Structure 1
Amino acid sequence: MAQVASSIKPRDRSKVLNANRQAKMAQSAHAYVRGNTLQFYEWLKKDSAKSIPEGPPVWICGDCHVGNIGPLSDSDGKIEIQIRDLDQTVVGNPAHDLVRLALSLATAARGSDLPGVTVVKMMEQMVEGYERALVAPNTTIKANSDDLAPIRNVLEQSRRRRWHHLAEERIEDVKPQIPLGKRFWMLEEQERVAMDELFRDETVVAKILAFKGRRPGSKVSVVDAAYWMKGCSSLGRLRFAVLLSIGKKADRTHCLIDLKEATCAAAPKVEMTIRNDAERVVTGASNLSPNLGQRMLAVPLLGKNLVMRELMPQDLKFDLDRLTQQEAMAAARYLAGIVGKAHGRQMNRKTRQSWLAKLEKQHSKSLDARNWLWSSVVSLIADHEAAYLEHCRRYASSS
């Protein structure tokens, strides 16, 4: 088992983070796919990936799997389902997001013990959902059908959530303190000093006070901060949780900030005029997921570039590990539509039409899914399944 962190010191972080990452990736083939973006992009360099069409260069997610799509609140409290993790975002080929999502959906279906024919039908529904959203990227995609109940339930839960839900979930209590333990670890002295300096910065304070209901000029103070063990593929980077107080004692409120180190993206990209990786993540989020992008800011900390975002109680992710065949097909169509909207908003009408025509070229008479997408998924599943089993062998030997 992965080591449980009761009181992890800064010098021990790397060892514990690596052990937890290996354990998470050994949980299932789907978890392995989610946690191993690098293997996906290594596969793209192979001859088997040469059939993937080259789409117009737009901002893409770069790590477009099921867990990276979900309800997101903007700074005014408006909720929309968008892409929720942009660590790998680049200006690149939109087809790469489609293939990555298809692989994630296929492994999720296999994890739900659904037959292979369901995967075929999911790929067909994916293509239809993506192309429809690409035609009309400003149209709202509704989750009204019974087959979309797993998605609709998460969206309804998101709309009901308030600050106390986030506090109880993330910091275990509404008490203004981050409890050290399994997820939150002690800071070094220089880290704590850097936090205090960061949240005195005028640009940072202005971003925090821009949220609905907050008065300009209110005092922002650091109440508590800790190193945060969170995620899977991002384990090993600097990541901090910061609890802030806003305003004076009589009307004081709190908010929780996520600070995550931005590192070089693995996704193939075209040339971008971006100063650093934190700016890349924020710019990509602003283009793909406006609800998230408007809450983010690129900040320097301890000689590294980090992305700051305020966590909102409405931010949730989908857990689609147990689906019926009809639910899996509907989810594939819906989630691909969300990606189609994110891509399509960045294209003018002529570019969208050209991209759609290119996507149609390899349409098989016996399969509604595109040949290039289906062959890519088959190759990727084989590639990742073998790697997953080898990962489990190594993990079992070292545990």
Structure 2
Amino acid sequence: MPLPTERLAILEAKRTLKMARSAHAYVRGNTAKFYEWLAESPSVRRVPRGPDIWICGDCHLGNLGPVANGEGAVEIQIRDLDQAVIGNPAHDLIRLGLSLATAARGSDLPGVVTMRMMEEMVDGYAAAMRDPGSDDPGARSEIVRSVEREALGRRWRHLAKERLDAVEPRIPLGKKFWDLTPEEREALTTLFADEDVARMVLSLKGKPGGREVRLVDAAYWMKGCSSLGLLRYAAIVGLKTGKGNWSYALIDLKEATTPIAPAAPGTDMPKDDAERVVTAAKAMSPYLGARMMPVHMLGRSLFIRELTPHDLKLEVDQFSEGEAVKAARHLAFVVGKAHVRQMDDRTRCDWLETLEADRRGALDTPSWLWESVVSLAGSHEAGYLDHCRRYALAA
């Protein structure tokens, strides 16, 4: 298994390969370039200033998906808040719009479909602003709902890949899960012996306090582009029942880092990055936020969360024309719900009025959104081709 000093090179190679596979993957893995190119876009001055609320900061397709609460209910919510800041909600709309437009291009859909996706996206978002307490009858994406149905049908065996014939479950080491150093294993053992962490894990399972919690197995987790160079672990934790038996929980531990997304000036956010991520999750994705906790380990700030079988990433390999439009509305409605739950009625109405002010018709895309997506799509396409050239030369 790779030593910590070797991990960075392996992760960098994996990240480069993943981002070279498609323009859509390049968009997902390049948050820094998104904000850099947005700042250089001719349309940036026309982007409206929305209310100062928690935003995802990296609102692309892969960061939305089914999330379960403690009672087993499942909703489509934002599932990754690493970049979350108190900022401009318009940035989430532009990021989602770019992700959808790139996915449409990857599905070889004509430009007029992208135009309709942007229109429906804004209308779905506006529907959440108009009536925060209701579902949107127009949000009927079969792609999104099929992932939600799949999530409802999943169980622990679909999530954990342990050796079932072992006395206790184990994490299988290999390409994704790497062995720990002695220092990492000791730090994780100490972490789960902490009373506050044990109480949090027990509460997730609906168990009273005073029960024993212990680390059963753990591994370094090679996962995603955003974790490059950061601490990321998967841990199986044992929980002793009242009858003396053991049940198990799968825990994700991820290092939090300084966000790239621009925060609104003068806003008061937690200075600790893990606390920032957890606070944002509670505000935007309550199902997820209730399962998270900030911790410190090995001199770093991390957040921990229980993984459930229902937590799935929304992966779109191919859009049909009709589903592309429906998915755009459905996902924008989800983002709108995450935003609107932080607004009072006056703020909500004012933001909706701002969105509607730049629309010539009932479903027309605001020009600032359309121009931003078009400009960024061009920048990302050029950036993607240059990335592929560098990857090919290095290979």
Find the counterpart in structure 1 of residue 35 from structure 2.
41
- C-alpha contact 2:138 2:329 (8 A) present in aligned 1: no
Pair 103,273 (structure 1): closer, same or farther in 2 beyond 3 Å: closer
In structure 2, list runs of 5 or more residues that go unmatched. Answer: none
Find the counterpart in structure 2 of residue 26 from structure 1.
20
Pair 130,144 (structure 1): closer, same or farther in 2 beyond 3 Å: closer
Deviates more, 1:270-279 or 1:333-342: 270-279
Find the counterpart in structure 2 of residue 332 from structure 1.
328
Find the counterpart in structure 2 of residue 4 from structure 1.
none
- C-alpha contact 1:245 1:254 (8 A) present in aligned 2: yes
Distance 1:57 1:13 in 2: 38
What SS does the corresponding residue of 2:160 show, helix, strand or coil?
Answer: helix
Shift of 1:181: 1.0
Find the counterpart in structure 2 of residue 194 from structure 1.
187
**Which residue of the other structure, out of 368, 373, 377, is the alignment partner of 2:369?**
373
Distance 2:75 2:362 in 1: 36
Q: TM-score of the superposition, structure 1-length normalised?
A: 0.94
Find the counterpart in structure 1 of residue 348 from structure 2.
352
Number of equivalenced pairs = 389
Find the counterpart in structure 1 of residue 61 from structure 2.
66
Is residue 181 from structure 1 mapped to residue 174 from structure 2 by the alignment? yes
Letter matched to residue 130 of structure 1:
Y
- C-alpha contact 1:112 1:322 (8 A) present in aligned 2: yes
**Which residue of the other structure, out of 259, 262, 269, is the alignment partner of 1:268?**
262
Shift of 1:212: 4.1
Shift of 1:44: 2.6
List aligned pairs for 1:124-139, cutoff 5 A: 124-139=119-134
**Which residue of the other structure, out of 368, 385, 389, is the alignment partner of 1:389?**
385
Q: Deviation per CA, 1:72-97: give whole Å up to 9, x if none.
A: 01122221110000000000000000
**Which residue of the other structure, out of 47, 70, 79, is the alignment partner of 1:52?**
47
Distance 1:284 1:354 in 2: 22
Distance 2:134 2:165 in 1: 38
- C-alpha contact 1:135 1:344 (8 A) present in aligned 2: no
Is residue 315 from structure 1 mapped to residue 311 from structure 2 by the alignment? yes
Pair 141,81 (structure 1): closer, same or farther in 2 beyond 3 Å: farther
Is residue 218 from structure 1 mapped to residue 214 from structure 2 by the alignment? no
What SS does the corresponding residue of 1:210 show, helix, strand or coil?
Answer: helix
Shift of 1:140: 3.2
Note the aligned Cα RMSD (angstroms). Answer: 1.7
Distance 2:108 2:97 in 1: 17
- C-alpha contact 2:41 2:376 (8 A) present in aligned 1: no
Find the counterpart in structure 2 of residue 111 from structure 1.
106
- C-alpha contact 2:86 2:269 (8 A) present in aligned 1: no
Distance 2:305 2:138 in 1: 27
Shift of 1:42: 0.6
Find the counterpart in structure 2 of residue 205 from structure 1.
198
In structure 1, list runs of 5 or more residues that go unmatched. Answer: 1-6
Q: Deviation per CA, 1:273-313: give whole Å up to 9, x if none.
A: 41311011000000000000010000001001001011010
What SS does the corresponding residue of 1:374 show, helix, strand or coil?
Answer: helix
Distance 2:133 2:380 in 1: 35
Pair 16,142 (structure 1): closer, same or farther in 2 beyond 3 Å: farther
Pair 136,174 (structure 1): closer, same or farther in 2 beyond 3 Å: farther
